[in-house]
Chains A and B, each alone.
Chain A
Amino acid sequence: MATRRLTDAFLLMRNNAIQNRQILAEQVSTLDPRRTLNTRSNAALADDRMALVSGISLDPEAAIGVTKRLPPKWVEGVDEIQYEITRIRQKMKELASLHDKHMNRPTLDDSSEEEHAIEITTQEITQMFHRCQRAVTGLQTQSRHCTEQENRLLTNVVSSLAQSLQELSINFRHTQSSYLKRMKNREERSKHFFDSGPLVEEDEDIALYDRGFTDHQLVLVQQNTVVVEEREREIRQIVQSISDLNEIFRDLAGMVVEQGTVLDRIDFNVEQACVKTDEGLQQLQKAEQYQKKNRKMLVILILFVIVVVLILVLFGTKFR
């Protein structure tokens, strides 16, 4: 990829131009007849002034441009949301590692701390998603206070944020559902293993075999029920969080532009913007014309009234 950097040449020329301007300004100020007093001190003053202000610009608008305007308030909101998004990503990585650890440990230990940790992380992530979603909707309502161009900027920002959030929520949901599936599989397998005992009682041999295990089995069943209930609880929580995410997803989907359509083309949007500015200009011109017409009508009306009044006065004096 070949490129050529002209920045150095540009900066050099710019510095030259600035110096030339300063020298010119100095000469102008020293040639000024009003400054008859100590010309050297004045020159020094002019120098200082020039050093502070970048060149004499007779253009007042440019001077205004020098002072930096504060960005609109919603920009901070954008930064916050982006920060939240990075935090969500981190949390999701944590959650994935927790899931894996939990899956690979033997199931009979009562390791409720891990499950607890998973629960908490999941809840945190869901909350963060909710917060982000509310913030993004909040951003969108700010569009009323903006000019038309800022509005476009805001819409683009909102749609890009909504898209990242949507992708993240899809990832989150996939991790959740795969975890859920694995849990279910394990539960089914363990259930199958432990349930198969009491069901098979027909054959004598098997009954004999079975009787031998009955006491042992009861203990196992008791332990198992506890474990199974815990699993059920976990699964229900996961399902709940998935359905929460559904709502978020639906809201976000409305804000995202479909990919692959003409709305996703830069040149199309630029053309629309041009069209809108043109239309805006046309509207302004129309309004101007109406105003003008208005004034003309007013003048005509006043003159008409004056004429009528004068005629009346005329008739009045005639008949007197």
Chain B
Amino acid sequence: MNVTLAVKQYISKMIESSGPGMKVLLMDKETTSIVSVVYTQSEILQKEVYLFERIDSQNRDNMKHLKAICFLRPTKENVEHLIQELRRPKYSVYFIYFSNVISKSEIKALAEADEQEVVAEVQEFYGDFIAVNPHLFSLNLQGAHCEFFLLLALKKCPMIRYQLSSDMSKRLAESVKQIITKEYELFDFRKTEVPPLLLILDRSDDAITPLLNQWTYQAMVHELLGLNNNRIDLSRVPGISKDLREVVLSAENDEFYANNLYLNFGEIGTNIKNLMEDFQKKKPKDKQKLESISDMKAFVDNYPQFKKMSGTVSKHVTVVGELSRLVSERQLMEVSEVEQELACQNDHSSAQQNVRRLLQNPRLSETDAVRLVMLYALRYEKHSSSILPSLMEELSRKGVSERHRKMVQSVVEYGGKRVRGSELIAPTDAVAITKQFFKGLKGVENVYTQHQPLLHDTLDQLIKGRLKDSQFPYLGPSSLRDRPQDIIVFIIGGATYEEALTVYNLNRTMPGVRIVLGGTAIHNTKRSPLCLIQEGSRLQSDISPRMAFM
């Protein structure tokens, strides 16, 4: 199951079915991101789409020699804009594709507005999500609507399991079921032997994972620099050259990135060094004069490769350089060590000492300090000798703002023991305790990456067919008898790149199973404290009835 491919297929179908001729692509804000993540401009230009406009941009010129392909989300504003556009059409023919289900009344309004009869096609193409990686999608939502049409895009009609402890996931599961039953003719796919499974989880069950520092390339970049639809804003980096103020990191077009997406920081360093050496070899030495024709020929032959490679190399060198600078400036190695200890080990006294020690370090940034205290709060909230109050005092002494300090309290409310369904921290059953004991004996390979997100255990149990029904019940009477083969996981409240890494590894190591992960957004530390808490409360009150053709 490849979500990037699904979106790409939708878009190529849209473009091809409008026939030859010059075309313009009309999009809205969200669909622009959806398209940009899977197609580069030069690829789309080859398909004769020569202009890209937003439906809400004013003062567009009349260009009757162009055909218009509209790819929009069926919101009220878009329908309004479309009505105005159809009343005074600027292009010769309109092919309209909605990324979600649209109501009959809105189609009627459009039909009435189409006085010049310029509309040739109206269809629903369910590509309403952003395909970040082939197995990771996001809805990039900051708000309440959880509309995801991934199931239709992947042609799956699944069984649904949801997390019992979370109200929201239950409601979401029920709405998904409702819509599947209502639109049964759309879901009439070829029945596979083992039906696919949709697993709905809640972020509050594992509030620790978004708070941890990451060390694999994609996750680290998102954590420290911020990946927004595969774009990174480097304008604040000291000494940055003009070309590199904003860069694109996309596994589709960048081979080095695709190979190093999931490798950790040390391995990336080695690979960059190799890349540089390769590049130096290809570079024409200045002494070498291009005299003979064969020299010239060879140089010009290799010039496009050379140019592309030089761009890639400088981009990655800059990004990795900036990452190293931030790591040393914020002393992230030490901080991460303590974080991992807090998340994985069970030793309160040493954890207490380490946290205190770090808090007293003047070079620790505000975000990191708050994060450490939040982790401590989540981990040892019910511990008898919890030093949380004194840590909060330390924070205020450091000058941390009131808003950040409040977040510690909110995060405990959001993801604390009361709310959690699964056993995140202290395993109580014998098997888990034995496992931890052996892990302690073996020692850890890499102290910075010892944490496994809760998702790993959940998926592991699910694949082996051992996921407890009491915690993750099925929706509906039927249940899966065999082991699942296609699993779609959706985390309300957002996913993280660490969990994407887990899914990637599971996909690789277990060949019979294909897993796709998605969330309402992809988190990093800056986003999670604020967003989780705000989103959590908003999501609880306002889940839209129009939902889930995932």
Contacts and interface: CB of A to CB of B under 8 A. Distances in A.
A157 B13 contact: no
Contacts of B39: 266
B308 A149 contact: no
Interface in B53-77: 53-54, 57-66
Interface string A40-64: 0000000000000011010101100
A246 B44 contact: no
A72 B22 CA distance: 13
Nearest to A236: B293
A60 B51 CA distance: 28
Interface stretch (A9-17, A118-126, A186-194): A9-17
A33 interface: no
B123 interface: yes
A298 interface: no
B124 A160 contact: no
Contact of A163 (B6, B46, B307, B312): B46
Interface in B2-46: 6, 9-10, 13, 22, 24-25, 27, 32-33, 35-36, 39-42, 44-46
Interface in B275-305: 293, 296-297, 300-301, 303-304
Contacts of B124: 3-4, 6
Contacts of B311: 258, 260-261
A3 B125 contact: yes
A10 B293 CA distance: 64
Contact of A260 (B35, B53, B248): B248
A249 interface: yes
B366 interface: no
Contacts of B65: 71-72, 75
B291 to A, nearest CB: 13
Contact of B64 (A71, A174, A264, A269): A71
B405 interface: no
Interface stretch (B108-116, B168-176, B373-381): B108-116
Nearest to B156: A2
Interface string B307-329: 11001100100000000000000
Interface in B84-134: 87-89, 92, 101-102, 104, 107-108, 110-112, 114-117, 119-126
Interface residues of A, number: 71
Given A75-B65, A264-B40, A264-B41, A160 B46 contact: yes
A71 B22 CA distance: 11
Interface in A130-180: 147, 149-150, 152-153, 156-157, 159-160, 163-164, 166, 170, 173-174, 177
Interface string A237-250: 00100110010011
A53 B115 CA distance: 10
A238 to B, nearest CB: 10
B41 A246 contact: no
Contacts of B89: 65
B193 interface: no
A239 to B, nearest CB: 5
Nearest to A82: B48
A71 B63 CA distance: 7
Contact of B44 (A61, A266, A268, A270): A266
A1 B48 CA distance: 23
B152 interface: yes
B169 to A, nearest CB: 24
Given A17-B111, A242-B297, A260-B312, A150 B246 contact: no
A153 B116 CA distance: 25
Interface residues of B, number: 86
A2 to B, nearest CB: 4
Contact of B122 (A10, A62, A69, A152): A10
B237 interface: no
Contacts of A156: 41, 45, 50-51
A257 interface: yes
B52 interface: yes
Nearest to A14: B111
Nearest to A174: B301
A287 to B, nearest CB: 16
A274 B50 contact: no
Interface string A98-125: 0000000000000000000000000000
Interface string B245-261: 01110100110000000
A267 interface: yes
A206 interface: no
Interface string A11-43: 101101110010000000000000000000000
Given A9-B104, A68-B64, A267 B36 contact: yes
B155 interface: yes
B347 interface: no
B1 interface: no
Contacts of B64: 68-69, 71
Of A11, A14, A62, A157, the most chain B CB neighbours within 10 A belong to: A14
Contact of A267 (B6, B32, B62, B119): B32
Contact of B123 (A5, A59, A177, A250): A5
A239 B292 CA distance: 11
B297 A177 contact: yes
A2 B155 CA distance: 6
A6 B36 contact: no
Contact of A13 (B57, B108, B117, B301): B108
Interface of A: 1-7, 9-11, 13-14, 16-18, 21, 54-55, 57, 59, 61-62, 65-66, 68-69, 71-72, 75, 78, 147, 149-150, 152-153, 156-157, 159-160, 163-164, 166, 170, 173-174, 177, 239, 242-243, 246, 249-250, 253, 257-270, 273-274, 277, 281
15 contacts: A1-B13, A1-B153, A2-B153, A4-B101, A4-B186, A7-B121, A11-B111, A14-B119, A59-B88, A62-B115, A65-B116, A71-B65, A147-B61, A262-B246, A270-B54
Given A6-B123, A263-B41, A266-B41, 14 more contacts: A2-B153, A9-B107, A13-B108, A55-B115, A160-B50, A242-B293, A249-B300, A262-B248, A264-B40, A265-B40, A265-B231, A273-B52, A273-B53, A277-B59
